[in-house]
C-alpha cells in the first residue's frame, strides 16, 4: 500500500511565527495555522505573564488543548479548578465555559491546539501585531470589539456575574 501526503511541510524555527498581543495581555505566536493544516487545527505558542489570562469564555466551534511547557497555569472549567504545571496537558471540549491564567510568579509558556482551525482570525482581528516582544500594549481592551470578534469566530464572552 502506497501512502502519500498532499500539501507542503511547515517548519517554524524556535522564536519564529507571527505573534499578536491579545487584549488580555498575553502573547500568541502562530506555529501552524488553519491554512497550513487544511483547516484541521491551529497551534499557537502562548506566553502568559504572572496572573494573566483571558476573560472567561466558551468556544462553540473549537476544542482547545493546552500543553504547559513552562510555568504553572490554573484552569477553571464548569466550576472545577485544575492546576497544571510544566509537562501537563489539559483538553477542554467545545461548549464548556473556561477561565485560565498563569498562577505562578514567572512567565508561563503553553502550546495551544485549536481544533478545527480558524481561530487565528480572532487574534488577527483583536490583537496587536508584536513589534516588541517584551512590551505588551498598555491600552485597555475594547470590550465591544472583543465580544463581537469572539462571536464571529464561534466563541462567546459572557458578561461578568452580577454581585
What pLDDT is attached to residue 4?
43
What pLDDT is attached to residue 6?
59
Please give the Cα distance from 129 to 19 (Å, whole number): 6
DSSP state of 26: -
What pLDDT is attached to residue 136?
75
pLDDT tens-place string over residues 110-130: 999 999 999 999 999 999 999
What pLDDT is attached to residue 3?
41
Instruction: Name residues of the chain where pLDDT drops below 50.
Output: 1-5
CATH number for domain 19-131, candidates 3.40.50.300, 3.40.980.10, 1.10.3130.10, 2.60.120.10: 2.60.120.10
What pLDDT is attached to residue 146?
87
Whether pTM > 0.95 for this model: the answer is no
Please give the Cα distance from 119 to 33 (Å, whole number): 9
Amino acid at each position: 500500500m502506497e501512502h502519500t501526503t498532499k500539501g507542503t511541510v511547515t517548519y517554524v524555527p524556535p522564536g519564529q511565527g507571527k505573534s499578536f498581543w491579545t487584549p488580555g495581555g498575553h502573547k500568541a505566536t502562530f506555529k501552524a495555522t488553519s491554512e497550513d493544516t487544511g483547516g484541521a487545527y491551529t497551534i499557537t505558542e502562548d506566553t502568559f505573564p504572572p496572573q494573566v489570562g483571558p476573560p472567561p469564555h466558551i468556544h462553540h466551534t473549537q476544542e482547545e488543548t493546552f500543553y504547559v511547557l513552562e510555568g504553572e497555569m490554573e484552569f477553571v472549567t464548569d466550576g472545577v479548578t485544575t492546576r497544571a504545571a510544566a509537562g501537563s496537558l489539559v483538553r477542554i471540549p467545545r461548549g464548556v465555559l473556561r477561565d485560565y491564567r498563569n498562577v505562578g510568579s514567572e512567565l508561563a509558556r503553553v502550546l495551544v491546539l485549536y481544533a478545527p482551525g480558524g481561530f487565528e482570525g480572532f487574534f488577527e482581528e483583536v490583537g496587536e501585531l508584536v513589534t516588541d516582544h517584551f512590551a505588551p500594549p498598555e491600552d485597555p481592551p475594547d470590550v465591544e470589539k472583543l465580544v463581537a470578534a469572539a462571536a464571529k469566530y464561534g466563541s462567546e464572552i459572557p458578561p461578568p456575574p452580577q454581585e
